[in-house]
Amino acid sequence: MTEPVRLAKRLAEMQACSRREAEQYIECGWVTVDGVVVEEPQFRVQNQTIALSADASLLALTPVTLLLHKPAACEAGLGGAVGGNALSAAQLLSPATQSPDDRSGIRPLKKHFSACELATPLAFAASGLVVFTQDWRVLRKLREDARVLEHEVLVEVTGEIAPGGLERLNRIDHGFTFKGALLPSAKVSWQSEARLRFALKGEMPGQIAYMCESVGLKVQAMKRLRVGRIPLKPLQPGQWRYLLAHERF
């Protein structure tokens, strides 16, 4: 019986590669222990059968971006959970919740879920599209261009809109000042008697509720349908998919 050693050390000895290369093979899901994929380099092994997939490659260590349909009452970077016990959006990221419509062909790995950063926070009570990413280019795009990137939001409201209220929401006559800043123009239209569609740039937390209240309406629910050019569909609540290689925000 040999002493247990780290899987990365044993694989490095087997493949005559560096410890770092062995760790990358393991983290990319290319290594099995007794026929079971193990993604933790620190996993301890003794006399088990260790195998490296014939397809193993370190050429495709590409950072990924995940698109999630966040349900309402789920924390996503803006707080709001009562007592801190509510589910967080990051907890919904797992192989079990991947959308069956995902066409990326990417194999889900544990490192995809543990190393992603939330790029588009969303209010606790709201639902809709949120973005997690490992890609610094995507993160920079979503953060540095936040003031000019358009979000589409469906808003359910109650109350009676004030005369000229829709025109004011569209800033035809004058705009809104929110938290000391003049808000950019928004495109607002009725989708039904109790539902408004907002297309606005640089959305700030609380902005839509404030605009609605300013014209006599009270927000009951909100759903983010789009971030830039990336739509929520066809994701169902609680499901996620990978951003495709050709998709751009």
Mean pLDDT of 46-58: 90
Categorize the per-residue pLDDT at 175 as very low, low, confident or very high, splitting at 50, 70 and 90: low
Rg (CA), the chain: 23
1: pLDDT strictly greater than 80: no
Domain containing 167: what range? 150-227
* 72, 183: one domain: no
Q: How many residues does the chain have?
A: 249
100: pLDDT strictly greater than 90: yes
* 129, 163: one domain: no
75 is a domain residue: yes
* 134, 160: one domain: no
**37 residue type, one letter:** V
The predicted model scores a pTM of 0.82
* 142, 186: one domain: no
163 is a domain residue: yes
Segment 23-29 long-range contacts (CB within 8 Å, at least 24 positions apart): 24/58, 24/61, 25/52, 25/56, 25/58, 27/109, 27/110, 27/111, 28/56, 28/58, 28/60, 28/61, 28/109, 28/111, 29/107, 29/109
In angstroms, rounded to a whole number, what is the distance separating the alpha carbons of residues 219 and 233? 23
Mean pLDDT of 148-163: 95
20-39: per-residue pLDDT in tens? 999 989 988 899 999 999 99
192-220: per-residue pLDDT in tens? 999 999 999 988 888 999 999 999 999 99
Q: What is the CATH number of the domain that holds 115?
A: 3.30.70.580
Q: Supply the pLDDT for residue 101.
A: 95
